[in-house]
Structure 1
């Protein structure tokens, strides 16, 4: 049956065929025990212009596929563990340069001495294979390795290699034109801005404008998740457009835009789930199907083309493996990490096809090189898919990093609505350092009606949303507050508990009260008790206490970490008071230092107006006696946080007045 072209190539037909391809491709692939993305590419080839002719390169599916590539890079930027990346930034940049330089040099040699190409053409061959596309990133993510250091290095290297490849493309093909049918724009004279200006504008937009604008919009305008999701898509597109203005592929801008919005999208939050769902359901599969549209099976089986494709594939495998191996030796990486970096960076698609398209459209390549490049892309996709899946099994499931205190903070809703905003800001300050999530919790018991618990939760959740955090609250019905909090913490995989305490109870009476002390004794994660005063916080002050015992030293480490996070989150100074007779601790932040005497039974004159006092649990338990009227005068309007390691918060229950025994001393 002959179908009219207006129907055959309509949006409706394209959407129908894309739906079938996305549904059937992975199912058939899994039946054959091959990665699902191979099935998607195969469906694109079968439905494409060289087989059934149901889809064409410039049609609806190709357009959605181009958006899918942007989305893939955007999600990689949003999910990148920025803390781990900053800790390994030297490794990331070095590996990016290595994984570009080694394949580029090998490709250049092949172009000049094997293919007998000129300098410009050989440089384009180098640009094709020096870059890489994270085709197998979904495989790594499915294995729970999206925060693995090796995956982070490969993701960061993607931007470096793509930018460098596109710089080579811009220089080598300054007369290149835009192939509108394929939807590919070259970097050269056709760009609106000079490359240096375009990249500068892109960096300023993604790392200055996007974070500030997103934080403000989330806090003041965009409170619904649908609105925040559309904002994320808009930021992604804006990054891509600014990239194109400077003659750089849009995927670079999409990735950098993802980095810019990274800290506003908690990794475990509902907004991240929506971003991932939309990409995995439509955009990323459409990109893989669109890759299949470029594959001509007849050309792939031509002996000369096939041999050249094998040569290109060997260049990629050897070059990327050598780069990862060198990086592994220099930085002392494990073998499995090197293998994962190699497997991920072998993948070729986006930048490679863009360079190949420019090469043939400008006459720098012939059909043989172009067809061989497309076949080599298919080979690389097969290798990266199988390789990533195999290495992921060797690495095994991810383990929890105990140092990531803010990965998932479960915060109990304060009973007083007036303190909700301050508690929310403190909780998010602890979580944001790790790109983590705050889950507000209210517990209903026989003595706390469910309606009252729901009201407390609503007030707290409202405060979190209106400071820009993405969160979903939980009302837990339990026999006791202690059982409700500890059970949810275990079920949700919490990394810290934040427990509001009535200010008078913590500062002026005997400690936490029975229920919170029980939580501190039984919870399997660090606990932070918070008493909110009515004075605005203008400085964070923390005390080290006696750190000679292992348990007290861990309390102090956690207290210093919390103080650093809060000072950074609230943008206020950090002041560290060191107990006499102990060493000054290392603090990963700008801070001032002083000293104090332990158990002196003197005053609390160290505390100034506007201070937030962050203390380890053992400092409270070991404090000397101070008259209640003195404590009331010095601490009544100020906020206090007590930080304790697992099982240590119960030590605050002591017949001594807390926060005492401090006197200033010169240091």
Structure 2
């Protein structure tokens, strides 16, 4: 099959992959990194031949490499380290040094006397640990101590990995010790300059330009790529400069989620897909000498990568007194070889320290580890949640702050009646009727339509002697607007009507109800109101673990 050479066509294919991959990941229960890389392999020259790792994909993919290292730096959570210093440090050191030493031993056996290749292989095996599992786990597990320790420990491991990658190119240079010392001095001055300037610049821009649209996010991107470029003049690879810049700018990200979301939107929808597709399309499995060699490579990588992470997790769990399920959660969070790991393998391959069979093994390990870590995290999470069901349960507080999403006058009255019936007078909280105006329909008629529904809701609440706070907002995504409003007002229950028949688009993107149920932590009630609500009692039949 002829490969795609037209730039617009290449962009269209990559963007299609960026759209399809998340839904494929949801179906398979694996992170998006694995599905995008797998699609890149299928569309690459080794299978379908639709995409070639040509100049355009390589160029944008190189920007993706910078972005991935920057993103890895921003994921280092200093707050968790301060909150749980001892367990985070213990697990961080174990989850770095055990895979690192395993990788060096495996690398020396595989590469002979090439110490740099062995060090980079150790860094690759220690680089796992990512936030990609967060969306597929129950929110109650993410605040658990073992989950926080896993995320904090992964941050420490990531810092040590970046240091090893940087020093590996300086301690073993081709020009001798004098150029190495010179490079080290320039690098120290470069890192000191970034440390003194970058956080202050980021803070000033975020404080002063927040009202100027997207200029703050653009300026952060300028700081990212400028830091990466300046590092080259000091002998520091651009991706290392990007990692350090991300680490320094991370506190500013935590104080401005809007900037972080805009940069993540650009990076995750443009830079990252190009990088992952480029890595997948560049994979050449024909260079593996034989089937036994391929089996040995995959088995060795899996044993060293996943086995060492499993050993580190259970050693840390034993030392910290965690249960078997919590140790499994440590392993699930720390064993995901994601975009950061693939970026390291790509760097090692481009510099000649990893040959093509080893890069292929790294890609296979990323795909296998994403499945293994997802399974481990889900199983451990299920065990933890089942244990919690055996503990004494306190009365539920759901129903103290109820938000009623109104969209049609015909059902608005009945939905408000249900909200009033469920509202607890003793809570003292108001009822929150919400009307979302679609940005595509934000004309005077739509506003009047929303205002009339909210006015009727206020009168309905007054007649029942319940305080009502009406909310109206303009949003592109109705479901996201409802979730954002619920979070801003602390609502623990959302009532939304079931009015429309299913649409074809819902089979792919999910309905508004699906998006709210999957995207929020609130209890969601979806009544189909065909008659006024006049019941005096509510009887609910609930299956086991429906609240999990």
Shorter chain as denominator, the TM-score bin is: 0.5 to 0.7
- What's the counterpart of residue 233 of structure 1? 221
Instruction: Provide structure 1 residue ranges, at least 5 long, that are not aligned to the other structure.
Output: 177-187, 400-442, 444-474, 496-667
- Alignment partners' CA distance in 2, 1:255 and 1:314: 28
1:175-232, CA deviations, whole angstroms, 9 ceiling, x for partnerless residues? Answer: 39xxxxxxxxxxx999996235425522541x43222112223334553230111112
- The DSSP-based 3-state class of the residue aligned with 2:49 is coil
- Does residue 210 (structure 1) correspond to residue 198 (structure 2)? The answer is yes
- What's the counterpart of residue 163 of structure 1? 163
Alignment of 1:581-596 (within 5 A): none
- Alignment partners' CA distance in 2, 1:252 and 1:383: 29
Query: How far apart are 1:140 and its partner, in Å?
Result: 1.9
Aligned to 1:132, which of 127, 130, 150? 127
- Does residue 84 (structure 1) correspond to residue 80 (structure 2)? The answer is yes
| Cα 1:389/1:292, change in 2 over 3 Å | farther
1:275-330, CA deviations, whole angstroms, 9 ceiling, x for partnerless residues? Answer: 33333333333333233123234456732122122112211122222233333344
Aligned residues: 397
Conserved? CA contact 2:186–2:234, under 8 Å: yes
1:372-396, CA deviations, whole angstroms, 9 ceiling, x for partnerless residues? Answer: 4454444344434554555566667
Alignment of 1:146-545 (within 5 A): 148-172=148-172, 174-175=173-174, 194-195=183-184, 197-199=186-188, 201-202=190-191, 204-205=193-194, 207-221=195-209, 223-266=211-254, 269-299=257-287, 302-333=291-322, 335-346=324-335, 347=337, 348-360=341-353, 368-388=357-377, 491-492=486-487
Between stretches 101-110 and 265-274, larger displacement belongs to 265-274
- Alignment partners' CA distance in 1, 2:179 and 2:15: 36
- Alignment partners' CA distance in 2, 1:76 and 1:394: 30
Instruction: Provide structure 2 residue ranges, at least 5 long, that are not aligned to the other structure.
Output: 389-429, 431-453, 473-483, 491-548
1:234-283, CA deviations, whole angstroms, 9 ceiling, x for partnerless residues? Answer: 22223433454555554443343233333333467433332333333333
- Alignment partners' CA distance in 1, 2:324 and 2:239: 30
Conserved? CA contact 1:98–1:323, under 8 Å: yes
- The DSSP-based 3-state class of the residue aligned with 1:254 is helix
- The DSSP-based 3-state class of the residue aligned with 2:132 is helix
Conserved? CA contact 2:106–2:118, under 8 Å: no
- What's the counterpart of residue 15 of structure 1? 11
- Does residue 40 (structure 1) correspond to residue 36 (structure 2)? The answer is yes
Compare the two structures and name the one with the higher helix fraction. Answer: 2
- The DSSP-based 3-state class of the residue aligned with 1:265 is helix
Conserved? CA contact 1:127–1:355, under 8 Å: no
| Cα 1:109/1:326, change in 2 over 3 Å | same
Conserved? CA contact 1:99–1:157, under 8 Å: yes
| Cα 1:78/1:169, change in 2 over 3 Å | closer
> Structure 2 length as normaliser, TM-score?
0.60
- Alignment partners' CA distance in 1, 2:312 and 2:184: 27
Conserved? CA contact 1:99–1:323, under 8 Å: yes
Query: How far apart are 1:350 and its partner, in Å?
Result: 1.7
Conserved? CA contact 2:88–2:150, under 8 Å: no
- What's the counterpart of residue 49 of structure 1? 45
Query: How far apart are 1:22 and its partner, in Å?
Result: 2.0
- The DSSP-based 3-state class of the residue aligned with 1:194 is helix
- Alignment partners' CA distance in 2, 1:344 and 1:219: 34
- Alignment partners' CA distance in 2, 1:122 and 1:273: 36
- What's the counterpart of residue 123 of structure 1? 118
> Structure 1 length as normaliser, TM-score?
0.50
| Cα 1:150/1:373, change in 2 over 3 Å | closer
- What's the counterpart of residue 21 of structure 2? 25
Conserved? CA contact 1:64–1:283, under 8 Å: yes
Conserved? CA contact 2:29–2:374, under 8 Å: no
Query: How far apart are 1:15 and its partner, in Å?
Result: 0.6
- Alignment partners' CA distance in 2, 1:193 and 1:494: 56
- Alignment partners' CA distance in 2, 1:304 and 1:224: 57
Highest CA radius of gyration, 1 or 2? Answer: 1
Conserved? CA contact 2:53–2:282, under 8 Å: yes
- Alignment partners' CA distance in 2, 1:490 and 1:88: 32
| Cα 1:368/1:220, change in 2 over 3 Å | closer
Q: Let me know the Cα RMSD of the aligned residues.
A: 4.4
Conserved? CA contact 2:43–2:51, under 8 Å: yes
Aligned to 2:94, which of 83, 98, 122? 98
- The DSSP-based 3-state class of the residue aligned with 1:138 is coil
